[in-house]
Structure 1
Amino acid sequence: MPSQTPARPSLCVFCGAKMGVNPAHAEAARRLGQAIAAQGWRLVYGAGDVGLMGEVARATQGAGGATFGVIPVHLMQMEVGKRDLSTFVVTETMHERKKVMFMNADVIAMLPGGAGSLDEFFEVLTWAQIGLHQKPIWLIDVAGYWHPLVALIDHVIAQGFAAPSLRDLFQVLTLEEVCARLEK
């Protein structure tokens, strides 16, 4: 899939439309948003103003960063579409949302989230597995949140349903490691 990113690098952040129970998750979203802006990157995300999505977007904006949000029309109310973004795109479907987010990003990052975030992760992971892209995919492991997911993927590999190379298609990083990579 061809990239349609501008001169400034863009980080697509998949994350929850809820806050979760651990305050460290919201703090990580805010810190990531600040780092995105401080390093001159653009945030690409799901355009919601709720949960971790809202936290990362408000932090990016508050630090003077550019934001590119994509939301399907049927989630405008539920996810409180954040219309004050640098770029605000409304799509017809969830699939179109994911495609537009992906095509406008250089790197994919995952903060904690639920089923929607997992869907987004597995779609871009599958696209990488079948050779449709080579964009970095980063699981930002806040307080061990992604350990069970990594264990599941290792189980899938151990049971012969994926090649060991699947693990090479994404990296599990701390927030500090992600922020350091944004500086490069």
Structure 2
Amino acid sequence: MSVIVPALIVLATVVAMEGVAWASHKYVMHGFGWAWHRDHHEPHDRMLEKNDRFALVGAGLSIAMFALGSPLVMGEGAWWPGTWIGLGVLVYGVIYTLVHDGLVHQRYFKWVPKRGYARRLVQAHKLHHATVGKEGGVSFGFVFARDPARLKTELKRQREAGLATLRDSAGR
């Protein structure tokens, strides 16, 4: 088999995972999974958060896809795309860890971007954290960020409609 097809599967999976991450962030983490996600939105000095459990869910998905694609695990019933989908999920997890936890929340390194897409990502996610509680909010993706000016407009609309409570200038 050509290397092109597996590479396209990996790439398509990485792109699709941003959609999966957006939906799970908006509807699971800010829904029934709030008990795990809440501490991510609150100040703390712990190295780990309950929210980090979601990374284990992603790792489980990746491992399951690797297993589905493995003849060692599945025998003749192995589904060859599973390996490449599992690799795409893994690559997205690495990107998420470096971009979201590393760059945006500075858990692993300190760098505040002054311009470009990295700055836009940081601004968009700071706007995500501008709300109090799980209701309302903007910017649920982790790698693709909308224009911060549009996100501010959306937050203002949510606040005026009573759909979101914004943090005050002290971050409360």
Q: Is the TM value for this pair above 0.5?
A: no
TM-score (normalizing by structure 1): 0.26
TM-score (normalizing by structure 2): 0.27
Q: Which has the higher strand share?
A: 1
Q: Which has the higher helix share?
A: 2
Larger radius of gyration, structure 1 or 2?
2
